[in-house]
Amino acid sequence: MAEPVQVALSLGAAVLAAVAVMTVTALVARRQGRVVVVDVAWGLGFVVIAAACALVATAVGAGEGLRTGVLVVIVGVWGLRLGWHIHRRSSAPDHGEDPRYLAVLGGPLSEVGMGVAVRKVFGVQGAVMAVIALPVAVGVVSDVWCWPLVAVGGVVWLVGLVFESVGDAQLAAYKSLPRESRPAVLDSRLWRYTRHPNYFGDACVWWGVWLAGGLASGWVAGLATLIAPVAMTWFLVSVTGVKLLEQTMMQRPAYVEYASRTSSFFPLPPK
């Protein structure tokens, strides 16, 4: 593992980058009157964090260039794809606030105010970003203990990216069909095996980043950064992902029937 000072500098860069991204996002949200813009900043924020940590590693002469490049690339590809996908989906003039954020805030931004939004959304997501980025912040300033783990992490990341991007594409294709002619729910292809292939893919991406950046740096670094993929998976399943979305979806009888035979997260054969 890297020297404590080097790790501290990289972690500091991650925190400052997260604060900067969320500050800009909050200003954009106030201008647009909707909090959902934070979804675009989520992926892009990790790109900024990875770049900031890599710059620190280069400045202090820490880490190994090849692994640092791998971490920046895999985080960058994931974050840019996700940010662009969400931007295309939510940038339509008639796209209002996401129901998930209405539930979190207790009402629209115009009613609850920016203070509530900063406390419940922007501040929380900024802090979570800094925690989830731990394998990147530690990995870029550390020597590689086990290169095969970097390779395994890359494979897990790729599986996750495929699930997330293909799942998003299949959902977009489904929504583009005329409402009167499309099935009541999307229950084919990846969506036949999991109700949330995009969320499952997201979790795999960050388990891959942890393997390549955290565990590949040694057992101490692996244990110290394990909270990152665990937190990401917990948020996706129990906080902002599956749980919040299905509070709305379960109001549809067709979705209840679909849920009775399809795994909620991990891909499994349908019942």
Top pLDDT among 112 and 261 is at 261
Give the model's pLDDT for residue 179: 87
Phi-psi region of 107 (alpha: psi -120 to 50; beta: other; left: phi over 0): left
Top pLDDT among 250 and 93 is at 250
> What would the pLDDT profile of 188-232 be if each residue is shown by its tens digit?
999 999 999 999 999 999 999 999 999 999 999 999 999 999 999
Q: Which of 263, 232, 83, 234 is nearest to 156 (CA)?
A: 232
Top pLDDT among 99 and 268 is at 268
Q: DSSP letters of 210-224?
A: IIIIIGGG-HHHHHH
The total of other beta-carbon atoms located within 10 Å of residue 32's CB is: 12
Distances (CA, A) of 18 to 23, 24, 51, 115, 218: 8, 10, 12, 18, 26
Give the model's pLDDT for residue 89: 79
Burial code (b: 16+ CB inside 10 Å, e: under 16) for 240-266 equals bbbebbbeebeeeeebeebbeebbebe
Give the model's pLDDT for residue 94: 59
Contact 218, 139 (CB under 8 A): no
Mean pLDDT across the chain: 93
Contact 191, 170 (CB under 8 A): yes
Q: How far apart are CA 197 and CA 205, in angstroms?
A: 12
Q: What is the pTM of this model?
A: 0.92
What are the two backbone dihedrals, phi and then psi, of residue 68, each rounded to the nearest 5 degrees? -60, -45
Of the listed ranges 61-75, 102-116, 193-207, the one predicted with least confidence: 102-116
For the segment 100-119, the average pLDDT, to the nearest whole number, is 87
Q: How far apart are CA 72 and CA 69, in angstroms?
A: 5
For the segment 105-133, the average pLDDT, to the nearest whole number, is 92
Contact 209, 73 (CB under 8 A): no
Give the model's pLDDT for residue 93: 55
Give the model's pLDDT for residue 92: 63
Please, which pLDDT band fits residue 53 given cuts at 50, 70 and 90? very high
Q: How far apart are CA 108 and CA 93, in angstroms?
A: 17
- Rounded to 5°, the CA angle 133-137-141 comes to 160
Torsion angle of C-alpha atoms 165, 51, 26, 232, degrees rounded to 10: 50
Residue the block writes with tokens 């900031």? 52
Residue extents of the structural domains in the chain: 4-261
> What would the pLDDT profile of 137-177 be if each residue is shown by its tens digit?
999 999 999 999 999 999 999 999 999 999 999 999 999 99
